[in-house]
Structure 1
Amino acid sequence: MEIDQQRIAEPGLVVLDVAAADEDTVHALMESSQQTWATYGITPVRRTPGEPDVRARVYVDVRRPCTAR
């Protein structure tokens, strides 16, 4: 999967490619990220047939703290 360069065109914008053993772990990371920074929210979790892990991509703006508490 290719990263859209426009999404990380400025300092402070981050793309995290996450791999974990299960969907609950990936969702916990995404929810935790949302509590700290501005994110694009919960993204789809992907599973590749024949591979034991699940994957997701998370877009984070570390310049802006999360405002919803």
Structure 2
Amino acid sequence: MRPINEAHVTEPGLAVVEVAAHDDRTALAVQELLATLCAIAPADRTTREPGEPGVRLRCFLDLRQAPPPEPVKRTGPGPDRDHDRGPNPCRLPRCCPR
């Protein structure tokens, strides 16, 4: 992955998260889980690094802000579906089986 830009970590509460996972679905599920905790600038796709196992994605978090109140539209492989951010948020296995 390319180097982290200094602008993305200029203040306390800002973070860059790099996810390494076996497949796209897993990496995007981790990103969705992070989106339930704070504001996030999500990655729209994963990447594969030659010679390295699995896939990677990078997303940007702002821990100072709460996540948006509306449901997040799934962006990964598979059918689009809304994920509830209410009192029982989706934990993926029951509505996104492997």
1:63 is matched with 64
Deviation at 1:34, TM superposition (A): 1.1
Whichever of the two has the greater Rg, that structure is 2
- Larger % of strand: which? 1
Moved over 6 A (4+): none
Structure 2 residue runs of 5 or longer lacking an equivalent are 71-98
Q: TM-score, normalised by structure 1?
A: 0.87
Greater RCO (Cα-Cα under 8 Å, separation 6 or more): 1
Percent of aligned pairs with the same amino acid:
35
* Equivalent residues in 2 for 1:33-52, closer than 5 Å: 33-52=34-53
Q: TM-score, normalised by structure 2?
A: 0.63
- Larger % of helix: which? 1
Aligned residues: 69
